[in-house]
């Protein structure tokens, strides 16, 4: 497979015939199935139910969900469409509160339509297309920036899924892995299973196999042992939000990998688009962590794993303190040992 084919081989979020088409990631890797969505509330439901996941992909889906909301309200509310839109916008925003890209995408469309008096639908769709296109281009740049920084790796541990399925194409952390593999500078990838939704075993391994990148699946609890065995020299993750001080919210288990990496002297890289940095969130302690239904822990594919009366605690994200992050990679460049001062300088916020 050549580079152009590899970079564009998977699409999780598409716009076709005035509808949002989502690859149903709940059914992978066993079935490749698509959902066609024409209503904004169904987009919010699809985001909440994990049909689409990954912060960038959620942002793109939300942008198209905003367009569908406009299609629903504008014909009957030409003068007060902004007011009529608000309940649908609120529903989108509530679907996955941790992922800052969702809020960022919706606010970008709202700002683009500010002051528009005539039909906003065409302009909104143009902006949603731009968000999707820019994300793909950013992923290519992040892949290049991260690969340039690493140069060569004998073994990378990656957590959750950060590839084409989680983005507009190519991926964030998996984009770096793809770029290293294309250059012949990567020996192997270790994908942690990522309980409870198993994005690592179901999605990441599937994506790596599509590109013939050597990989091994491990349990989440095996990571420290694999590090101790000397098989890993980098840990790569994505991010759902990066606070102003460099704290990183990502899939539950990321913090454990960061702690283990630091103990074993292994570098820890976070790869995330520029839009994931949230200066309005000062530290990771301010990030809302989504707590999901207990059934995600107590069963798999309808098969019960524990007693009916088992009590659970199911946070699906955790926060990795900035001091455990070796480098933050964005499409605009890299920040070594990120902290509040470096991030503000990087963003030109001072």
For residue 155 the two structure tokens come to: 């073994």
Give the integer Cα–Cα distance in Å for 56 and 11: 13
Give the integer Cα–Cα distance in Å for 269 and 283: 19
For residue 294 the two structure tokens come to: 């207990």
- Dihedral of CA atoms 61, 63, 65, 68 in degrees, nearest 10, equals -140
Catalytic-role residue among 135, 211, 233, 240: 240
Active site residue 240: yes
DSSP assignments along 177-240, one per residue: HHHHHHTT-B--EEEE--TTTTHIIIIIHHHHHHTT--EEEE-GGGHHHHHHTT--SEEEE--S
Taking the alpha carbons at both ends of the chain, their separation in whole angstroms is: 45
- Dihedral of CA atoms 48, 163, 272, 326 in degrees, nearest 10, equals 120
Return phi, psi of residue 170, to 5°. Answer: 80, -50
Give the integer Cα–Cα distance in Å for 334 and 337: 10
**CA-derived radius of gyration, the chain:** 20
In a 10 Å sphere around its CB, with 0-12 CB exposed, 13-18 middle and 19+ buried, how is residue 111 labelled? exposed
For residue 143 the two structure tokens come to: 């892949």
Strand order in the sheet with 234-237: 215-218, 189-192, 156-158, 234-237, 267-271, 327-330, 333-336
What residues act catalytically? Answer: 240
């Amino acid at each position: 497979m050549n580079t152009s084919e590899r970079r564009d081989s998977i699409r999780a979020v598409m716009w076709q015939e005035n509808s949002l088409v989502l690859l149903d990631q709940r059914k992978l890797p066993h079935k490749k199935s698509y959902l066609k969505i024409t209503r904004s509330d169904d987009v919010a439901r699809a985001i909440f139910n994990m049909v689409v996941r990954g912060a960038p992909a959620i942002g793109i889906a939300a942008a198209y969900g905003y367009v569908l909301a406009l299609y629903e309200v504008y014909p009957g509310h030409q003068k007060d469409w902004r007011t009529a839109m608000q309940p649908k916008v609120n529903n989108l925003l509530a679907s996955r509160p941790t992922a800052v890209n969702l809020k960022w995408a919706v606010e970008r469309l709202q700002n683009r339509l500010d002051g528009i008096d005539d039909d906003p639908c065409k302009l909104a769709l143009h902006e949603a297309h731009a968000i999707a296109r820019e994300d793909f281009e950013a992923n290519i740049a992040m892949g290049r920036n991260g690969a340039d920084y690493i140069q060569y790796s004998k073994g990378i541990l990656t957590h959750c899924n950060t590839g084409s399925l989680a983005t507009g194409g190519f991926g964030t952390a998996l984009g770096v892995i793809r770029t290293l593999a294309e250059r012949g500078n990567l020996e192997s990838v270790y994908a942690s299973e990522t309980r409870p939704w198993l994005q690592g075993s179901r999605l990441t391994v599937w994506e790596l196999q599509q590109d013939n990148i050597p990989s091994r699946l491990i349990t989440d609890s095996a990571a420290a042992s694999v590090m101790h065995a000397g098989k890993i020299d980098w840990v790569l993750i994505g991010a759902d939000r990066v606070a102003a001080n460099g704290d990183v919210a990502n899939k539950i288990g990321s913090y454990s990998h960061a702690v283990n990496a630091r103990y074993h002297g292994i570098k820890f890289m976070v790869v995330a688009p520029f839009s994931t940095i949230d200066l309005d969130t000062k530290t990771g302690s301010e990030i809302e962590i989504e707590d999901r239904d207990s059934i995600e822990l107590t069963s798999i594919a309808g098969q019960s794993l524990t007693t009916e009366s088992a009590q659970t605690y199911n946070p699906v994200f955790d926060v990795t303190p900035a001091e455990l992050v070796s480098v933050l990679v964005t499409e605009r460049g890299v920040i070594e040992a990120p902290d509040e001062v470096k991030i503000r300088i990087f963003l030109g916020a001072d």
